[in-house]
């Protein structure tokens, strides 16, 4: 298949990474915006020599899903420098890594603003230039010819490239090989809104006033999401992202690129050395690392990533994989598009005043928002179970969980197991039915086995190669609880008691 056929068949396959445009030896590919304002490649037949390099380079056309052989190590991290922390979206880890490169004469690539507040990929060779790359910009950034610039820079110096995961994959495919002197750093990605939408929005805000600064993640009121625009001649606009027009469209899944709802580069399919994100929930699972100015998480995928992380001026502490993803589902699964997305972009296509359409959009239904949240939950749960299924394929240790929890609490139990370091297991749940039977369910699979007597239990643990039994305490099986634990011990396996943490 060729890239144009791929896009015609399924537009959502193209992430707009621009690897094809960078690789074309004839400059025959132009990235052209569609009606929604997202750029897609367009080949000029008069320049094209049919060499096929664009098709061979496209990360979507040449996508191969990875197997999980082990879960990555994850750390909470803070760069304890007041100024940098205040100006970084989470714990400043991007700046700490960048400093290693800049101090050794290297170069850092990432997303910054141009003079009109458009978001573009650009580079920094010194600390002043780094400021523009700092901070999340909730817009799809334009790559332009940056992959070619990275390739050039690699001939003479150390390079850090940062971007969303599809851009990191785009760079990897463009380069076609590993470089010792290249560190690739991706961010956890909720998805990217339309650049045209952003431009209409910011141009409207700056129509009669000069904008002097834009910050999507201002920390004026601590580590949360606040949109903050400064003007030369009036008071700044500072507003919670959840209450801001542009922010609502982003957070509700209305303004993202179609590929973001079918993202191919979630774990384990990212192609970077490190993944950076916000350590949401750190106050609960590692209070000693909590800082009201922001805390990062970093997933380590390669030895190179580990080496750079060790060199960075950061306070770090290892955290459990389950804690890291619990409040950060976008590491594992894509955002679901809001049901209103199609209508929203159709309205934009018919109306020259995009700002008015955006304003009109939030008078309406809470129901649709709730529906999307529900679907997101299902997608995350499915992805989580995919991860477990893959881990299970590669490891032999299986566990029988005995719990009086309802089936809907299955995920919490799993997370508990991750906390216990039992990452390498398949999990079976033994639960009572309404009529007093004990039924064993393989996690999320729906396959049920009745375990009524000792021989059924022994047969089950042998058949499924169960290595341990974990019993939730308290076990609300009435008077039968301790009898049940004794009964479980008859199969000769260790029986471990656990208690779920209270929220």
Ligand X SMILES: Cc1cc2nc3c(=O)[nH]c(=O)nc-3n(C[C@H](O)[C@H](O)[C@H](O)COP(=O)(O)OP(=O)(O)OC[C@H]3O[C@@H](n4cnc5c(N)ncnc54)[C@H](O)[C@@H]3O)c2cc1C
Applying CB under 6 A, the residues found at the interface with ligand X are 88-95, 110-111, 119, 133-139, 141, 162-164, 187-190, 192, 276-278, 296, 328, 330
Instruction: Enumerate residues 6+ apart whose C-beta is below 8 A from 146.
Output: 22, 109, 121, 122, 123
Instruction: Identify which of 228, 289, 267, 238 has the alpha carbon closest to the alpha carbon of residue 77.
Output: 289
**Binding partner selected for residue 398 from ligand SF4, ligand X, none, CB under the kind-specific 5 to 8 Å limit:** none
Q: How far is the CB of 438 from ligand SF4 (least distance, A)?
A: 43
Q: How far is the CB of 221 from ligand SF4 (least distance, A)?
A: 27
Q: Look up residue 72 and give its two tokens.
A: 């990555």
251 binds ligand SF4 per the rule CB under 6 A: no
Q: How far is the CB of 95 from ligand X (least distance, A)?
A: 6
**Binding partner selected for residue 60 from ligand X, ligand SF4, none, CB under the kind-specific 5 to 8 Å limit:** ligand SF4
369 binds ligand SF4 per the rule CB under 6 A: no
164 binds ligand SF4 per the rule CB under 6 A: yes
DSSP assignments along 391-425, one per residue: HHHH---EEEEE--S-GGGHHHHHHHHHHTT--S-
Secondary structure letter of residue 193 according to DSSP: B
117 binds ligand SF4 per the rule CB under 6 A: no
CA 352 to chain centre: 33
Nearer to ligand X, 168 or 438 (CB): 168
195 binds ligand SF4 per the rule CB under 6 A: no
In the set 43, 298, 471, 488, which binds ligand SF4 (CB under 6 A)?
A: 43
Confirm if 111 and 133 have CB atoms less than 8 A apart: yes
Phi, psi of 38 (to 5 degrees): -100, 145
In the set 147, 161, 250, 265, which binds ligand SF4 (CB under 6 A)?
A: 265
CA 48 to chain centre: 36
Confirm if 420 and 493 have CB atoms less than 8 A apart: no
Q: What angle, 0 to 180 degrees and rounded to 10, lies between the N-to-C axes of helices 303-311 and 93-103?
A: 90
**Binding partner selected for residue 139 from ligand X, ligand SF4, none, CB under the kind-specific 5 to 8 Å limit:** ligand X
189 binds ligand SF4 per the rule CB under 6 A: yes
Q: Note every long-range contact of 378-383, with CB atoms under 8 Å and residues 24 or more positions apart, other chains counting.
A: 379/333, 379/334, 379/336, 380/329, 380/332, 380/333, 381/411, 381/444, 382/333, 383/266, 383/329, 383/332, 383/333
**Binding partner selected for residue 51 from ligand X, ligand SF4, none, CB under the kind-specific 5 to 8 Å limit:** ligand SF4
Q: How far is the CB of 184 from ligand X (least distance, A)?
A: 11
Confirm if 191 and 253 have CB atoms less than 8 A apart: yes
In the set 36, 38, 54, 491, which binds ligand SF4 (CB under 6 A)?
A: 54
16 binds ligand SF4 per the rule CB under 6 A: yes
Nearer to ligand X, 142 or 340 (CB): 142
Q: How far is the CB of 281 from ligand X (least distance, A)?
A: 10
In the set 90, 194, 259, 398, which binds ligand SF4 (CB under 6 A)?
A: 259
CA-based angle 431:436:442, to the nearest 5? 25
Residue ranges binding ligand SF4 (CB under 6 A): 3, 14-20, 23-24, 26, 28-29, 41, 43, 48-54, 58-60, 164-166, 170, 189, 191-192, 257, 259-260, 263, 265, 334
């Amino acid at each position: 298949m060729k890239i144009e056929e791929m896009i015609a068949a399924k537009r959502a396959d193209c992430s707009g990474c621009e690897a094809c445009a960078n690789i074309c030896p004839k400059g025959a590919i132009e990235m052209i915006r569609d009606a929604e304002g997202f750029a897609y490649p367009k080949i000029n037949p008069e320049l094209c020599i049919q060499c096929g390099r664009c098709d061979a380079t496209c990360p979507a056309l040449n996508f191969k899903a990875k197997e999980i052989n082990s879960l990555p190590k994850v750390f909470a991290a803070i760069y304890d420098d007041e100024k940098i922390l205040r100006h970084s979206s989470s714990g400043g880890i991007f700046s700490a890594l960048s400093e290693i490169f800049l101090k050794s004469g290297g170069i850092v690539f990432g997303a910054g603003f141009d003079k009109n507040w458009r978001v573009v990929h650009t580079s920094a060779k010194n600390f002043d230039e780094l400021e523009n790359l700092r901070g999340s910009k909730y817009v799809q950034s334009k790559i332009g010819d940056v992959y070619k610039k990275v390739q050039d820079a690699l001939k003479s110096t150390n390079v850090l490239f940062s971007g969303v995961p599809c851009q990191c994959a785009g760079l990897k495919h463009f380069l076609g090989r590993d470089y010792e002197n290249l560190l690739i750093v991706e961010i956890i990605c909720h998805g990217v809104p339309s650049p045209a939408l952003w431009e209409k929005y910011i141009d409207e805000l700056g129509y009669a006033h000069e904008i002097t600064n834009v910050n999507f993640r201002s920390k004026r009121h601590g580590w949360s999401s606040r949109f903050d625009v400064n003007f030369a001649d009036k008071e700044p606009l500072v507003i919670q992202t959840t209450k801001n027009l542009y922010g609502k469209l982003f957070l509700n899944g209305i303004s993202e690129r179609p590929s973001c709802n079918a993202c191919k580069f979630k774990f384990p399919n990212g192609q970077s050395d490190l993944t950076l994100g916000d350590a949401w929930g750190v106050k609960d699972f590692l209070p000693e690392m909590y800082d009201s100015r922001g805390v990062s998480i970093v997933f380590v995928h390669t030895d190179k990533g580990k080496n750079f992380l060790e060199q960075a001026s950061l306070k770090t502490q290892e955290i459990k994989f389950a804690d890291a993803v619990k409040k950060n589902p976008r590491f594992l699964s894509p955002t679901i598009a809001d049901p209103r997305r199609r209508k929203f972009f159709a309205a934009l296509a018919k109306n020259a005043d995009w700002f008015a359409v955006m304003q009109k959009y939030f008078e309406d239904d809470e129901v649709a928002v709730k529906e999307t949240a529900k679907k997101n939950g299902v997608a995350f749960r499915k992805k989580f179970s995919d991860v477990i299924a893959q881990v299970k394929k590669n490891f032999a240790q299986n566990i029988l969980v005995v719990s009086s929890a309802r089936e809907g609490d299955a995920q919490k139990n799993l997370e508990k197991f991750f906390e216990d370091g039992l990452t390498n297991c398949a999990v079976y749940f033994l639960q009572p039915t309404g009529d007093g039977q004990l039924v064993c369910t393989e996690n999320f699979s729906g396959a049920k086995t009745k375990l009524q007597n000792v021989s059924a239990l022994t047969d089950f643990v042998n058949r499924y190669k169960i290595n341990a039994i974990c019993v939730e305490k308290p076990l609300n099986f009435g008077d039968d609880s301790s009898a049940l634990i004794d009964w479980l011990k008859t199969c000769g396996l260790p029986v471990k008691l656990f208690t779920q943490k209270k929220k």
